[in-house]
Amino acid sequence: MPLQSVIDRALAETPPGRVIWVALSGGLDSSLLLSLATQACRRYPRPLHALHVHHGLQAAADDFEHHCRRLCSRLGVPLFVERVGVDPGHGLGLEGAAREARYGAFAARVASGETLWLAQHRDDQAETLLLAALRGGGVRGLAAMPAHRDWQGRGLRRPLLGVSRAELRRAAERLGLAWVEDPSNAEIHQDRNYLRHAVMPRLEARWPGAAARLARTAARAGEADALLGELAAEQLVVLGGDPARLPAADLAALSRPRQRLLVRHACERLALPLPPAARLDNLLAQLVARRDAEVRVDWLGVEARLWRGDLYLLAPQLPLASDWSREWAGASPLSGPWGPLAVALERGDGETPALVVRPRRGGERLRLAGRGRRDLKRLLQEWGLPPWRRQRLLVVWAGDAPVAVLDGFEAYWLAVAEGWRGRVA
Ligand SMILES: Nc1ncnc2c1ncn2[C@@H]1O[C@H](COP(=O)(O)OP(=O)(O)OP(=O)(O)O)[C@@H](O)[C@H]1O
C-alpha cells in the first residue's frame, strides 16, 4: 500500500475533531510521519500537533529540539516541547528511565479522547519480538507493539508499523527531508542496536523478508493475546467479577495456566504491576491453604493475600505511625494520613465539639444506637474486617469518648456513636 494511503487510513480511523499528536523525536521516522500526517491533514482537515520530549541526556539533545522547531515551523504545525528529568536509579536502566519519563510527558500533554501517533516501523517490530523471545517472554511479549491501543482514555497509534525502515528512508529522501541521526543508534553494545546491525542483516541474507515475517508473527501473537484477554474477562465474571477479591477455591479448581491468566488479568484490571512468574506460582501453590491460614505473597507494588477463602490483590499501604493524630472540626475534608478524606461528622444537636482523630489503639468502646456500649474489637470480628483493613482504621474522639470509626483509606464510616451523624461528602 502506498505510504500516503497508510497515513490516510490511520487518519480515517482516528476520532474526528480531536487533536492528533505526533511524537516527534527528530529522527528519520517521526520526522517523516509528521510530514506525511501534515499532507494528509491538508486533504482531510484535522487538528495536528507535534510533541517533542527533551531528555537532556545527550549532547545532541539540543540539536534534536532545533531540528523539530525548524521542521514544525516549515510545516506550520504547532510544536510542544516537554523537558523531563531522567532518573536512571530505579532499576530501569537509562533507556527504560528515559522511556518512562517520555511517557510521563506524553500523558501530561495528550488529553483523554486525543490520539498520539508514534513512528515505530516494521523493523522495530521485528526487533521487539526478538528481544521479547530472548528474554523468554510469553504471548504478550511476542505480540511486541500493538498498532493501536487505548491508553487511559487516549488513543495510541503506530501508523507505520507495517512499513519497512528501507521504505521509510526512500520516502524521506524522495521528499528531501532533513532529520537528525541519533548517535546512540550506532552503539552496538545495546541489545536492540546489536540485533539491528549484527543479527538482522544475517537473518535477511538467509531468509529474505525475515523482518516482515517476524512482524507477522507479532501480529498473530497480538491476536492470541487479545483472545486470552477475552477468555480471562469471561472467567472473571464466572468467579464473581471482582478483580480485587477472587474466591480461592474456585480459582484453585481451574487449570494452572488459567489461574495464571486470571491473576495477571486481575492485576491489569486493577492497574497493579504483574507478578514475576516465580511469585505467581508460589501464590497459586498456596491457594488451597487452610481457611484460617493467612497467606501473603508480595511483589513490587502488590500485596496478594489469602484470607478466609478469598484471594485479595492490594496496593501496599504505608504503615500508619501509632502517634499520628489530627485535630478536626468535623467538616469535610479530613486531612487523613494517606490523603484528604471526603467525610464529615457532627453531633446530632449541631454543637460539634473539637475532635481528635487517631489510629485505633485497642480497647475502644462505642455507644451504638439500640445496642449500648460495644467493644470495637468485637465489632470488627462481627463485621469480618480483614486484618489489613483493621490497620487503616481511624477513631474519632470527642474528649475521652470515641464517637466514630472510619476507614482512613477508602473514606467511609464503619460505625458512628449514638447521637452523632457521619456523612460521606
Ligand atoms: N524524544 C522524543 N520526543 C518525542 N517522541 C519521541 C522521542 N523519542 C522517541 N519518540 C517517539 O517514540 C518512537 C519510538 O522511539 P525510538 O527511540 O524507537 O525512535 P527514534 O529512533 O528515536 O526516532 P525516530 O522514530 O524518529 O527515528 C519514535 O518514533 C517517536 O515517535
Query: Of 413, 284, 253, 250, nearest to 341 (Cα)?
Result: 413
On whether residue 232 sits in a domain, the answer given is: no
On whether residue 320 sits in a domain, the answer given is: no
Q: Are 312 and 270 in contact (CB under 8 A)?
A: no
Coil, strand or helix at 29: helix
Does residue 310 share a domain with residue 337? no
Does residue 271 share a domain with residue 371? no
51 CA to middle of ligand 1, Å? 10
Q: Which of 287, 314, 341 corresponds to the end of one domain?
A: 314
Does residue 287 share a domain with residue 205? no
Burial class (CB in 10 A: 0-12, 13-18, 19+), 99: middle
Does residue 101 share a domain with residue 45? yes
Q: CA separation (Å) from 362 to 18, 151, 339, 377, 394?
A: 55, 45, 24, 7, 11
CA–CA dist 129, 403 (Å, integer): 59
Q: Which of 217, 248, 270 corresponds to the end of one domain?
A: 217
398 CA to middle of ligand 1, Å? 59
30 CA to middle of ligand 1, Å? 6
On whether residue 319 sits in a domain, the answer given is: no
Q: Whose CA is nearest to atom 6 of ligand 1?
A: 25
**If residue 402 lies in a helix (H) or strand (E), which one and from where to where?**
strand 401-407
Does residue 305 share a domain with residue 334? no
57 CA to middle of ligand 1, Å? 14
On whether residue 321 sits in a domain, the answer given is: no
User: What is the reported pTM?
Assistant: 0.83
Regarding the beta carbon of 37 and ligand 1, being less than 6 Å apart is answered no
Does residue 305 share a domain with residue 247? yes
Q: Are 332 and 405 in contact (CB under 8 A)?
A: no
Q: Whose CA is nearest to atom 15 of ligand 1?
A: 120
Q: Which ligand 1 atom is at minimum distance from the Cα of 185? A: 21
Does residue 159 share a domain with residue 63? yes
CA–CA dist 422, 394 (Å, integer): 13
Regarding the beta carbon of 23 and ligand 1, being less than 6 Å apart is answered yes
Q: Are 417 and 348 in contact (CB under 8 A)?
A: no
| Count of structural domains within the chain | 3
Does residue 87 share a domain with residue 209? yes
Does residue 119 share a domain with residue 50? yes
Interval 57-76: pLDDT, tens: 777 788 899 999 999 999 99
Residue 25 counted as an annotated binding residue: yes
On whether residue 292 sits in a domain, the answer given is: yes
Question: What nine digits make up the cell of 352?
Answer: 460539634
Does residue 395 share a domain with residue 334? yes
Q: What is the phi-psi region of residue 98: left when phi exceeds 0, alpha when psi lies from -120 to 50, beta otherwise?
A: alpha
What pLDDT is stored for residue 184 in this prediction?
80
Sign of the C-alpha dihedral computed for residues 73, 74, 78 and 79 taken in this order: negative
Regarding the beta carbon of 118 and ligand 1, being less than 6 Å apart is answered yes
Residue-number span of the structural domain to which 279 is assigned: 239-314
On whether residue 55 sits in a domain, the answer given is: yes
Q: What is the best residue among 7, 25, 190 to mutate for testing ligand 1's pocket, by most ligand atoms within 8 Å of CB?
A: 25
Regarding the beta carbon of 127 and ligand 1, being less than 6 Å apart is answered no
What pLDDT is stored for residue 135 in this prediction?
94
What pLDDT is stored for residue 398 in this prediction?
94
Regarding the beta carbon of 82 and ligand 1, being less than 6 Å apart is answered no
Beta strands in 218-342 (DSSP E): 245-247, 295-299, 302-307, 310-314, 326-328, 334-336, 339-341
What pLDDT is stored for residue 411 in this prediction?
87
Phi, psi of 77, deg, nearest 5:
-110, 130
Q: Are 237 and 164 in contact (CB under 8 A)?
A: no
Q: CA separation (Å) from 109 to 53, 96, 239, 301, 324?
A: 11, 20, 38, 26, 38
Does residue 177 share a domain with residue 155? yes
212 CA to middle of ligand 1, Å? 21
234 CA to middle of ligand 1, Å? 37
Interval 407-416: pLDDT, tens: 998 888 999 9
What parts of the chain have a pLDDT lower than 50?
A: none
- Dmax (CA) for the chain in angstroms is 86
Q: Find the CATH number of the domain harbouring 169.
A: 3.40.50.620
On whether residue 229 sits in a domain, the answer given is: no
Residue 150 counted as an annotated binding residue: no
Question: What nine digits make up the cell of 414?
Answer: 464503619
Does residue 206 share a domain with residue 142? yes
Strand partners, 375: 365
180 CA to middle of ligand 1, Å? 11
Task: Give the number of other Cβ atoms within 10 Å of residue 43's Cβ.
Answer: 11
Regarding the beta carbon of 63 and ligand 1, being less than 6 Å apart is answered no
Q: Which of 217, 249, 273 corresponds to the end of one domain?
A: 217
Q: Are 118 and 157 in contact (CB under 8 A)?
A: yes
Residue 26 counted as an annotated binding residue: yes
